[in-house]
């Protein structure tokens, strides 16, 4: 037994030494040995080959073959605007058959509305050889099955232990480093060391996800004293951005592992963590943010105005609070490539540990980050209009769908006031198209 124990210890020491020498140290120094690039090249070639095999297999008649999910959803919608359709329906007097239009619209909303589908993972047009895909593509051919099995072995027997080791090193370094720096008195030295710790640990954590990030337009990077605003897909959004620069973050207090990290990092950097349910805390947050923005020597604030994670297809309503603070807004658009792994966190379905496990058993995390020109609030523009203007710019840059809905619908029901507003809009359409007048005339003539 002693020989077995010493052998395990020796293997563990060699493993740790290789990880530190080949990955952790280059990551900390911001250099690459080309290992990630080689891995991504092999991965891209493998997925391209698998896609070709799938396309060939689908062309062959197979009894129980499931087609890839349609990119446009599970139903075919009529995209005619409601106002135009109402105008067509009411060119003549009301007919009983007119109600079927509204019945169809109701069924479409129930089967597949444009809101709730943003709170679940986006569907892939082509399979990426991950076991959690709901389409049985790996039964198309023997060679594809063999590649899929090899992929499972590589991801769970090699990549998962490697990524877990890197994540443990990165998280431990973050907690220990920020705690130690937090003991120092406030000074420029403390700020510098805090930035070094955050930047170094973020680079290690990105390697733990096999992250490949492409940063565009770096001349527009957020500056000190400003507010960085980005769309929100995942908790790793903050790591993705911190990999290229440091920020003072604003967000909700979490429990568990995330809470431990939050409590440690706030000691070294003026992050702002708040309880969503406490109204008094919100006023305190606003006050602290205004004070932060007023000091041009402090790190830019990082805010995700959607308030919750939205899947990688859309940008939902930006809360106006972030745009009432003042200062310069630096918009950032983040778009993940779902072919290599699903970065979206469905927090109502997975806790943070389960979510990270899913990330670590994916092929890689690949994304594009666009730094956009700074924006300021125009004269006569209120906070809501400013928020919508910034949201539209981010959606256009990232190729995302812009939706007016509140991301809070992920956990709450639609407010009665919103339903009443839609009813008022519908009645205005009827009046504008003369439908009510036609109905009144018809009633009098009868």
Secondary structure (DSSP) of 137-182: GGGS-HHHHHHHHHHHHHIIIIIHHHHHHHHHHHHHHHHHHHHHHH
Work out the percent of the chain whose per-residue pLDDT is above 90. 16
Over range 239-268, report the average pLDDT: 83
Q: What is the pLDDT of residue 55?
A: 73
76 in a structural domain: no
Cα 174 from chain centre: 23
Q: What is the pLDDT of residue 268?
A: 84
Residues 388 and 401 occupy one common structural domain: yes
Over range 297-312, report the average pLDDT: 86
The CA-atom distances, in angstroms, between 81 and each of 76, 88, 96, 429 are: 15, 11, 21, 12
Residues 420 and 405 occupy one common structural domain: no
Q: What is the pLDDT of residue 237?
A: 92
Q: What is the pLDDT of residue 13?
A: 83
Residues 146 and 256 occupy one common structural domain: yes
Q: How confident is the model at residue 49 (pLDDT cuts 50, 70, 90)?
A: confident
Q: What is the pLDDT of residue 330?
A: 94
Q: DSSP label at 433?
A: T
CA dihedral 312, 249, 252, 291 (to 10 degrees): -130
Q: What is the pLDDT of residue 65?
A: 39
Work out the percent of the chain whose per-residue pLDDT is above 70. 73
Q: What is the pLDDT of residue 292?
A: 79
67 in a structural domain: no
Q: How confident is the model at residue 277 (pLDDT cuts 50, 70, 90)?
A: low
Over range 362-371, report the average pLDDT: 93
Residues 436 and 395 occupy one common structural domain: no
Over range 99-123, report the average pLDDT: 66
Cα–Cα distance measured from residue 354 to residue 347, given in angstroms and rounded to the nearest whole number: 10
Over range 291-317, report the average pLDDT: 85
Domain ranges, residue 280:
137-410
Query: Is the pLDDT score of 358 beyond 50?
Result: yes
Q: What is the pLDDT of residue 319?
A: 85
Q: What is the pLDDT of residue 148?
A: 87
Q: What is the pLDDT of residue 156?
A: 92
- Average pLDDT value over all residues in the chain: 78
16 in a structural domain: no
Query: Is the pLDDT score of 202 beyond 80?
Result: yes
Q: How many CB atoms lie within 10 A of CB 122?
A: 16
Residue scoring higher pLDDT (271 or 276): 271
Residue scoring higher pLDDT (443 or 203): 203
22 in a structural domain: no
Q: DSSP label at 348?
A: T
Q: What is the pLDDT of residue 446?
A: 42
What the block records as the tokens of 308 is 């919750």
Residues 155 and 289 occupy one common structural domain: yes
Q: How confident is the model at residue 110 (pLDDT cuts 50, 70, 90)?
A: low
What the block records as the tokens of 375 is 């924006």
124 in a structural domain: no
Q: What is the pLDDT of residue 332?
A: 95
Query: Is the pLDDT score of 412 beyond 70?
Result: no
Cα–Cα distance measured from residue 306 to residue 258, given in angstroms and rounded to the nearest whole number: 19
At how many degrees (to 10) do helices 160-182 and 352-360 cross? 130
What the block records as the tokens of 112 is 């597949």
Q: How confident is the model at residue 67 (pLDDT cuts 50, 70, 90)?
A: very low
Q: How confident is the model at residue 258 (pLDDT cuts 50, 70, 90)?
A: confident
Residues 431 and 357 occupy one common structural domain: no
Q: What is the pLDDT of residue 160?
A: 92
Among the ranges given (17-21, 123-127, 145-149), the one the predictor scored with the smallest mean pLDDT: 123-127
Among the ranges given (4-13, 122-131, 378-387, 434-443), the one the predictor scored with the smallest mean pLDDT: 434-443
Over range 203-219, report the average pLDDT: 91
Residues 157 and 306 occupy one common structural domain: yes
Cα–Cα distance measured from residue 101 to residue 87, given in angstroms and rounded to the nearest whole number: 12
- Distance linking the first and last C-alpha atoms of the chain: 100
119 in a structural domain: no
Q: What is the pLDDT of residue 406?
A: 72
Query: Is the pLDDT score of 95 beyond 70?
Result: no
Residues 419 and 385 occupy one common structural domain: no
Q: How confident is the model at residue 24 (pLDDT cuts 50, 70, 90)?
A: confident
The tens digit of pLDDT for each residue in 280-303 reads 566 777 777 888 788 777 889 899
Residues 143 and 178 occupy one common structural domain: yes
Q: What is the pLDDT of residue 335?
A: 93
Residues 101 and 161 occupy one common structural domain: no
35 in a structural domain: no
- Number of compact structural domains in the chain: 2
What the block records as the tokens of 184 is 């120092």
Query: Is the pLDDT score of 71 beyond 50?
Result: no
Q: How confident is the model at residue 108 (pLDDT cuts 50, 70, 90)?
A: low
Query: Is the pLDDT score of 436 beyond 80?
Result: no
Q: How confident is the model at residue 353 (pLDDT cuts 50, 70, 90)?
A: confident
Residues 263 and 301 occupy one common structural domain: yes
Residue scoring higher pLDDT (13 or 59): 13
Residues 103 and 160 occupy one common structural domain: no
Residue scoring higher pLDDT (385 or 98): 385
The CA-atom distances, in angstroms, between 143 and each of 71, 123, 386 are: 27, 25, 54
């Amino acid at each position: 037994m002693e020989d077995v124990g010493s052998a395990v210890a020796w293997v563990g020491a060699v493993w740790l030494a290789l990880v530190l020498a080949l990955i952790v140290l280059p990551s900390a120094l911001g250099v690459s040995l080309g290992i990630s690039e080689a891995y991504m090249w092999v991965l891209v070639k493998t997925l391209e080959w698998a896609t070709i095999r799938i396309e060939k297999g689908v062309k062959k008649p197979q009894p129980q073959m499931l087609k890839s999910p349609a990119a446009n959803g599970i139903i075919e919608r009529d995209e005619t605007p409601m106002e135009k359709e109402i105008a067509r329906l009411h060119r003549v007097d009301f007919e009983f058959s007119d109600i079927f239009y509204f019945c169809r619209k109701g069924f479409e909303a129930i089967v597949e509305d444009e809101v709730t589908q943003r709170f679940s993972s986006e569907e892939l047009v082509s399979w990426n050889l991950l076991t959690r895909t709901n389409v049985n593509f790996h039964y198309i051919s023997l060679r594809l099955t063999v590649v899929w099995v090899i992929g499972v072995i590589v991801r769970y027997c090699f990549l998962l232990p490697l990524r877990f080791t890197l994540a443990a090193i990165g998280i431990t370094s973050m907690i220990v480093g920020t705690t130690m720096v937090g003991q120092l008195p406030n000074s420029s030295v403390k700020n510098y060391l805090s930035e070094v710790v955050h930047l170094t640990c973020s680079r290690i954590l990105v390697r733990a996800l096999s992250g490949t990030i492409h940063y565009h337009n770096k001349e527009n990077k957020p500056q000190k004293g400003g507010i960085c605003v980005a769309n929100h897909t995942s908790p790793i959004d903050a790591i993705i951005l911190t990999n290229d620069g440091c920020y003072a973050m604003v967000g909700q207090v979490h429990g568990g592992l995330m809470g431990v990290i939050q409590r440690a990092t706030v000691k070294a950097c003026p992050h702002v963590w708040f309880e969503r349910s406490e109204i008094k805390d919100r006023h305190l947050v606003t006050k602290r943010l205004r004070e932060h923005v007023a000091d041009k020597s402090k790190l830019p604030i990082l805010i995700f105005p959607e308030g919750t994670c939205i899947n990688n297809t859309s940008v939902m309503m930006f809360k106006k609070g972030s745009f009432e603070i003042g200062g310069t807004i630096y918009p950032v658009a983040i778009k993940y490539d779902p072919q290599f792994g699903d970065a979206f966190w469905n927090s109502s379905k997975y806790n943070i540990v389960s979510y990270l496990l899913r990330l670590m058993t994916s092929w890689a995390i690949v994304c594009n980050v666009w730094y956009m020109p700074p924006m300021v609030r125009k004269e006569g523009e209120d906070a809501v209009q400013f928020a919508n203007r910034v949201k539209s710019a981010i959606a256009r840059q990232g190729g995302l769908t812009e939706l007016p809905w509140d991301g809070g619908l992920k956990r709450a029901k639609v407010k009665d006031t919103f339903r009443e507003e839609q009813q008022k809009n519908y009645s205005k359409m009827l009046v504008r198209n003369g439908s009510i007048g036609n109905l009144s005339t018809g009633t009098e003539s009868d």
